[in-house]
């Protein structure tokens, strides 16, 4: 009788939608499988370019290429990184304050650390120094949201785009002024958009509840809108900050606490297929798992385990489910699908055929951390 019950339980688990045979035999966690998946994703994406190379979209992709290069040692990947930088003349985007136009500089700094060629970071230094010396003027859109607000990074995506560049630059050049600038701008955004009750970030003030004079936009179920990729940007940005900051850095605990609060919340709303929905608190309205937000969460949580910040027993099953879900989004040719198009909230249709360069980048970052897990 006990054997029959055990057999039934095993069959129930195997037939569950959340279970995969790849998980059962650990195939998807093998080093050889992950390296192959990273290479396929990278080279497919390189053959299907999209957007200007200095664009924020490509900054996420090339951040993933750096991680994949470090994981695989592929000379072809390194060559692609240098070619991208040369094509851009190692310059940031044109806007003086917008975090999106500084995002590609993360990769310039990473490549400089390998090549030691100063021309790779000189334009970044020049642009950031000019930014620091120029008084900030709010964008027209920002003024429409809240008159007089001078928060430089007023949208949560900015916390992936700008902070890693400033922190990497400060650490590389051993100059605290860049770290202090990041602390100031990050905390401004945190104070503006972080919901301490939900432990998530509103995308911008249009989605923040309790702001005088602003009627917040709600989900179909009446809950607050917390955009999956937007919060994925934040968690990815936090990881890229924490990777750089010394352990005795005065504000390191601020970043760790923010990261751990978000990690606990994100783990609690993971869906049975291992992925997260485009709208975090209204998964019923978005039945398909979304690749870019899920990729960033897998990356961020795996990094926390690998660096002893997150409890392994608690978070390893979350990461395992997430990676299993992400591998199902990758097609045989390497394309990563189910990626929400460009937007500022969950309200965009997407499908198994939907791809974007930042979705590939998130997948590469995730795989490059999952491969390091000691299971």
Residue 370's nearest CA partner among 97, 28, 141, 138 is 28
Q: Tokens 């199902």 belong to which residue?
A: 328
The phi-psi region of residue 348 (left if phi > 0; otherwise alpha if psi is between -120 and 50; otherwise beta) is beta
Count the Cβ atoms, other than its own, within 10 Å of residue 260: 16
Catalytic status, residue 101: no
70-86: burial string, b at 16+ Cβ within 10 Å, e else:
ebbebeebbebbeebbe
94-130: burial string, b at 16+ Cβ within 10 Å, e else:
eeebbbbbbbbbbbbbbbbeeeeeeebbebbbebbee
| Catalytic one of 55, 100, 101, 157 | 157
- Please, how many CA atoms are within 13 Å of residue 50, restricted to the half-sphere of its CB? 16
In contact, 57 and 343? CB cutoff 8 Å: no
Which residues are the active-site residues? 157
């Amino acid at each position: 009788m006990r054997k029959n019950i055990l057999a039934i339980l095993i069959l129930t688990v195997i037939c569950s939608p959340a279970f995969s045979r790849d998980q059962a035999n650990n195939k998807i966690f093998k080093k050889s499988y992950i390296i192959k998946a990273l290479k396929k994703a990278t080279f497919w994406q390189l053959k299907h370019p999209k957007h200007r190379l200095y664009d924020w979209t490509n900054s996420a992709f090339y951040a993933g290429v750096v991680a994949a290069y470090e994981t695989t040692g592929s000379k072809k990947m390194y060559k692609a990184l240098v070619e991208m930088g040369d094509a851009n003349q190692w310059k940031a985007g044109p806007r003086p304050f917008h975090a999106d136009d500084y995002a590609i500089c993360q990769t310039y700094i990473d490549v400089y650390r390998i090549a030691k060629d100063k021309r790779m970071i000189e334009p970044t230094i020049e642009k950031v120094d000019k930014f620091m010396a120029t008084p900030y003027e709010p964008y027209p859109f920002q003024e429409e949201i809240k008159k007089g607000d001078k928060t430089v990074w007023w949208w949560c995506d900015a916390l992936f785009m700008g902070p890693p560049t400033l922190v990497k630059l400060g650490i590389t050049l051993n100059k605290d002024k860049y770290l202090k600038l990041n602390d100031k701008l990050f905390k401004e955004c945190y104070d503006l958009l972080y919901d301490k009750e939900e432990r998530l970030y509103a995308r911008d003030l249009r989605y923040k509840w309790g702001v005088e004079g602003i009627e917040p936009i709600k989900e179909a179920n009446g809950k607050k809108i917390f955009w999956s990729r937007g919060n994925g940007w934040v968690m990815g940005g936090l990881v890229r900050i924490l990777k750089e900051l010394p352990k005795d850095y005065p504000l390191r605990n601020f970043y760790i606490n923010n990261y751990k609060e978000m990690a606990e919340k994100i783990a609690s709303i993971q869906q049975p297929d291992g992925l997260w929905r485009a709208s975090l608190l209204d998964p019923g309205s978005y039945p398909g798992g979304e690749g870019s937000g899920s990729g960033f969460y897998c990356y961020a949580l795996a990094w926390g385990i690998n660096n002893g910040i997150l409890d392994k027993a608690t978070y390893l099953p979350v990461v395992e489910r997430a990676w299993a879900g992400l591998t199902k989004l990758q097609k045989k040719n390497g394309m990563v699908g189910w990626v929400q198009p460009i937007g500022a909230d969950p309200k965009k249709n997407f499908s198994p055929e939907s791809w974007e360069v930042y979705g590939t980048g998130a997948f590469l970052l995730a795989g490059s951390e999952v491969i390091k897990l000691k299971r």
